[in-house]
Amino acid sequence: MGYKVVVAGATGNVGREMLNILAERQFPVDEIAALASRKSLGTEVSFGDKTLTTKDLDTFDFTGWDIALFAVGSEATKKYAPVAAKAGCVVIDNSSLYRYDPDVPLIVPECNADAIHGYKKKNIIANPNCSTAQMVVALKPLHDRAKIKRVVVSTYQSVSGSGKEGIDELWDQTKGMYVPGQEVAPNKFQKQIAFNVIPHIDVFMEDGSTKEEWKMVAETKKIIDPSIKVTATCVRVPVFVGHSEAVNIEFEEPLDEDEAREILRTAPGCLVVDKREDGGYVTPIECVGDFATFISRIRTDSTIENGLNIWVVSDNLRKGAALNAVQIAEVLGNKVLQKADA
């Protein structure tokens, strides 16, 4: 016996990846529905060796369905997620809409799977921001050992984090640099993204930080520990898929790099590639299509007491979005719904 699963936003980058990962991980699906907006209605999408035709999100009846994975953005989620939840279908939402709601659990299964039980208040579970998800996978096992006091993170985020339009703009701008008359002006991004980096993701806030930076702070506190101090600088880089992060960590207790390396080697979701030689680390192009959060460049920061530096890389469409959502569905199946071995 399996689950009746809905994927809303099935024609987008994350929605398609959700379908791929449900099939790859052999999630126990009895029936699956791919939903899209009216403009994408009838589009065909793949689910394993099957082809699904998208149905209309606006008119879909969620009654009798078990789990809905939402990848439709905050505005559409605001309209349709409560409809699904009221019909008895548990919503796992990839947008930012519910992440900071105290009645909605924000979950990264490697870090706080037990928080799943809080879903019953609204029948909704939130998926974290892509840059937060991979960072907390690396931070949680270290925090459990030596308690993290402060984190300073600089991100190098791929254009796929901004959707298909971001990917297209990088591609078209790059080509346009070499073909006279085919230059492409910035549209999705604030400045040229080809051969450039942009220290601006999401909107600016009153304190000078961007909302992406604020998300990393608020979500790390909610997922791991509210006492952790976090400061972030989030940067868009001309990479198609895969987010990278340079993370500086200050602990309350001593933790040397060798022990940290061993902790991370055995931590769920982590894969350590850390050789002090040419190429002995992971870059974003190598993580594409992989489930793991890769950790490299583990070394002591001698400028502070109990300091450590790490380099964290992950496929943002997977661990940062679709994979984490499917893992939440697996936890929901195993710990709560228990209709099948999810």
Question: Which residues are the active-site residues?
Answer: 130, 243
On whether the CB atoms of residues 223 and 106 are closer than 8 A, the answer is yes
How far apart CA 63 and CA 65 sit, in angstroms, is 6
Closest CA to 123 of 66, 75, 56: 66
How far apart CA 235 and CA 294 sit, in angstroms, is 19
Dihedral sign computed on CA atoms, order 341, 3, 317, 176? positive
H or E segment at 223? helix 211-223
Output the CA–CA distances (angstroms, integers) from residue 319 to 18, 110, 127, 134, 293, in the order listed: 11, 11, 10, 7, 7
Dihedral sign computed on CA atoms, order 314, 316, 321, 326? negative
Q: How far is C-alpha 132 from the geometric centre of its chain's CA atoms?
A: 7
Beta bridge partners of 19: none
- The amino acid present at 179, given as its one-letter code, is V
